Structure 1
């Protein structure tokens, strides 16, 4: 269960994601890239708590918190780094969580006085969608906390203003975890959920260094873009449970660009190619790299081998 409603608020688990396919189809007239991707949420989460405060109610003091002072949003914001204390994640109005709350206050015409606590377990600059998932969690949790009852369509439209991956995570959260994979097109806002025949064990490695999405896109070239036809085949494999034969289905047309930005990622590709995994590739623009495994026992063996190579933080998990 990804959402828990309390008398004064709502707590959301904000999952990571992996891209089982990612096809960059070209650049749009608005400057964004047209894409087609199959994304799957993971059992690996940040946690976001949104507590509704009365207009003049002071938030409880917290030495790690900062005052919330943004358009239509006041209160307290506490950011706890459970993943990487050194990560440069803002705890102010530039954070995607606060931006999501500002957008919701503007859309509803209601100021929000809130106590917000974000526990970060997902690494940043990883291609795992942590910031986008947090933004989606803020929209959905605050909508429940203030009982705005905005429709899924309205929340998804707001999410699209925050980032390409945010609408997908809104769908995952609203589905209570039943959206276990989806085909996302356009900028990512056109979402088609698909049933999945069982969770897929996987091993995710996050190198110490992260990658800038903008830098990776800048290093990609038109020759590497275009339709590969892998997304529909991946959807079919997920529906039927034939993902165990998906070694040739995984596609990420951003991976060559990421390797130009960070040649050291090749070490992970070589390592996984020598291990008993079904398939492996970069997630999104990186730097996280993942492998799908036949079962949990294999995932644990693979995870132990990758930890021994000391190429980054290793997480053994599965899709929802």
Structure 2
């Protein structure tokens, strides 16, 4: 049996460059792992794949990314090898935090060990890219530049360790809808990836905070103004910066220390934000 942490991600920067011929959008994203995690337990069993989940609302069948990850690797295992996958979800659903992608990545890494496949991370990344744009990043975690549709990764200097407050309003925002609605001429500011890279290399949290930009806010905040209200509240309560993660709706705020992050979280709870988490950043590949 193996037990793995499947870490959530946030986007310190997210730019949408253009729509590709294959229907995906070309993106440039600075992605960061945080220690809000699902627990993925893999237990050997004969022959087939089984999946169970601690919450309702998620399919525990072949449509689930974690199941699909196991199915991708199954042809490379001995025929009698199977697995029972147990997902204990902590990352909120449909939140822009890559919870499903993190689970799939953990299954790939875990089965590579459990089934003794001896695949490198680069080889696992090829399987990960077949599952979803965020899955390759979730294999590596830490701080990465993601380009292409998100599957092309370049390590960046790690973000100086800090705490983040994550706040999810009671709405769900389909990622596909956000990208369909995206209009480049509605974007007032784009992230400068080169400047962000320099700030990371210098270990400047202040510099990173000043340069956090997500162009998808131009879509999601226009439709859901409560996201902007959460951002404003985080800044009012002392966050260094606040930004929507991915296509939303979760907002994260950077804090210097755990105490400050916990204080911000308490204020947001008092305002009635339904789902709030405090997590430390992941500063190295795990």
TM-score with structure 2 setting the length: 0.92
Aligned residues, how many?
282
Structure 1 CA distance, aligned partners of 2:247 and 2:174? Answer: 8
Q: Which residue of 1 aligns with 2:43?
A: 51
Structure 2 CA distance, aligned partners of 1:109 and 1:298? Answer: 51
Q: Which residue of 2 aligns with 1:80?
A: 54
Q: Which residue of 1 aligns with 2:226?
A: 264
**Deviation of 1:265 (Å):** 1.6
Q: 2:130 aligns with which of 161, 180, 200?
A: 161
> Given the alignment of the two structures, is residue 13 of structure 1 paired with residue 5 of structure 2, yes or no?
yes
**Once the two structures are superposed, what CA deviation does each residue of 1:265-313 show, in whole Å capped at 9, x if it has no partner?**
2221221232211110100001110100122222122111111111221
**Once the two structures are superposed, what CA deviation does each residue of 1:22-65 show, in whole Å capped at 9, x if it has no partner?**
0011111111010000111011100111112234xxxxxxxxxx
TM-score with structure 1 setting the length: 0.83
Structure 1 CA distance, aligned partners of 2:215 and 2:34? Answer: 21
**Once the two structures are superposed, what CA deviation does each residue of 1:58-79 show, in whole Å capped at 9, x if it has no partner?**
xxxxxxxxxxxxxxxx243221
Q: Which residue of 2 aligns with 1:219?
A: 181
**Deviation of 1:126 (Å):** 0.5
Q: Which residue of 2 aligns with 1:142?
A: 111
Q: Which residue of 2 aligns with 1:93?
A: 62
Counterparts of 1:1-320 in structure 2 under 5 Å?
A: 9-55=1-47, 74-81=48-55, 85=56, 88-106=57-75, 110=79, 112-172=81-141, 180-196=142-158, 198-224=160-186, 228-320=190-282
Q: CA RMSD in A?
A: 1.9
CA contact (8 A) 1:219 1:258 kept: no
**Deviation of 1:129 (Å):** 0.4
CA contact (8 A) 2:190 2:214 kept: no
**Deviation of 1:210 (Å):** 1.9
CA contact (8 A) 2:191 2:213 kept: no
Structure 2 CA distance, aligned partners of 1:243 and 1:195? Answer: 12
- For structure 1, the residue ranges without an aligned partner over 5 or more in a row are 1-8, 56-73, 173-179
Structure 1 CA distance, aligned partners of 2:133 and 2:278? Answer: 26
CA contact (8 A) 1:245 1:278 kept: no
CA contact (8 A) 2:101 2:135 kept: yes
Summarize the Cα distance change of 1:227–1:182 in structure 2 as closer, same or farther, 3 Å threshold: farther
Partner of 1:53: helix, strand, or coil? strand
